[in-house]
Amino acid sequence: MPAPWRICCNKKSKTKNGKAEMDNMAEKSEKMQMKKEITLLNGVSLIVGNMIGSGIFVSPRGVLMYSASYGLSLVIWALGGMFSLFGALCYAELGTSIVKSGASYAYILEAFGAFVAFIRLWSSLLIIEPTTQAVIAITFANYIVQPIFPHCEPPYDAVRLIAAACICSLTFINCVNVKWGTRVQDVFTYAKVMALILVISVGLYKIGKGETENLRAPFEGSATNPGMIALALYSALFSYSGWDTLNYVTEEMQNPERNLPLSIAISMPIVTIIYLLTNIAYYVVLDMSAILTSDAVAVTFGGETLSYAKWIIPIAVAMSCYSGLNSSIIAASRLFYVGAREGHLPDSLSLIHIKCFTPVPALLFNGLMTLLYLLVEDVFLLINYYCFNYWLFVGLSIAGLIYLRYTQPRRPRPIKLNLFFPIVYCLCSLFLVIVPLYSDTINSLIGVGIALSGIPAYYLGVYLPFDKRPKCLQWLSATTTKYVQMLFYCALSDLDIDMEPTAAKSK
């Protein structure tokens, strides 16, 4: 029995001239699939833009708070960069040997099967992606309205409406054209890097003038408690998250075997050096108490050093958020698209626009989920629920690299790392899973509960054979797919047709 979307895809329509056309574009010379439009430069912008979020501008104090000295905090920032580079290199091997979009979801699916991959997808759908994007959008809105309300709290409704407008605008841009999304990413990434270079330049100028009082005893008072150092490293590693962004769009990259690892190799040192130099600039200008008590360290820095140009910093934070949100939307929509293609989400999310070649239903679904989370007043608290899940699944995907080395030794691997790198990363990931369980047990257990809530959904929507699933779910899926296809002018991609047996097998 053909799937419902298959029937709808193959329906013929008549033009004014009476000529029959196939909606699925199979009879046309151009393949019906997302285009390979992401270049090496776009890849670097996606990684750098997602890694350098608002955190380095707003609150780099977590590392300093737990390390208790400037010197040790800089060492921990460097260690965080090195550790993240290990993870990124492992993803370079995974991304070039498993040339699928979806990042850790695709790699877990390949290594450990459908159930574990579905739980990872379910966690992203319910908590990780919409919460992250809602928080970034709210931060963007706060910094946009800050000049209008410099001495008081901005109106709640105004902030949420601006955040919603930000999400809708980026969703629209990415629906229309992949190139539009990558151009937005390029421009805003350049802008925020330039802003950080300004901060770094001021710091280096102060050092050149000999204003280094804060750095004369950099390791004085350093934390010696292993627990405090572990929490400092945890804060640093969270600031480096986002290095896997490009692995979500592997199928849309030009020459991924070359450009994926090269983008990672270029991006990781750039981000690490920027983080180190930016923190040095903060430490030269601001004393420890000023950094630890500031709600926005870069804004405080600008007020101390930039005089009439201090307005640049809030604008830079807003641009940083816009860039980070754009890359997050691109990555999340591809995750949902690939999940639907594998049969783990409704079929309607696996369709792409016939003319734009973009995953419009997945983009709109992601945008709708994020808008719903804007209605949650304490959305920032939801971040606490997913730290455990995030590091668990990143660690699992890299453990999958080791597992596939032994189960599929002859698999083509354009890049093949020494096993030292994935083993070290897996051990450190175990530490990152234990830290939130130790420091924030209740919220971590809530996160585990959210992930496990996907078990009934997996049983009903994936595990059961199609003809044994509840009739109401079958009708809802078929009806939704039909009307989504007609409303948004979408069709099944050629790649999806080729992969149907694989998806059926995973079920």
In this predicted model, what pLDDT tens digit does every residue of 180-195 receive, in sequence order? 999 999 999 999 899 9
Q: In angstroms, how far is the first alpha carbon of the chain from the final one?
A: 16
The pLDDT, as a whole number, for residue 361 is: 94
The pLDDT, as a whole number, for residue 368 is: 95
Given pLDDT bands bounded at 50, 70 and 90, which one contains residue 494? low
**C-alpha 234: how far from chain center:** 18
Percent with pLDDT over 90 in the chain:
41
Q: Is the pLDDT of residue 56 over 90?
A: no
- The Cα-based distances of 160 to 23, 133, 178, 234, 326 in angstroms read 39, 13, 27, 30, 18
- pTM comes to 0.86
In this predicted model, what pLDDT tens digit does every residue of 331-380 receive, in sequence order? 999 999 999 999 899 989 999 998 888 999 999 999 999 999 998 887 77
Given pLDDT bands bounded at 50, 70 and 90, which one contains residue 133? very high
The pLDDT, as a whole number, for residue 458 is: 93
CA distance linking residue 275 with residue 236, whole number of Å:
10
CA distance linking residue 231 with residue 503, whole number of Å:
41
Residues contacting residue 292 through CB under 8 Å, at least 6 positions apart: 61, 64, 65
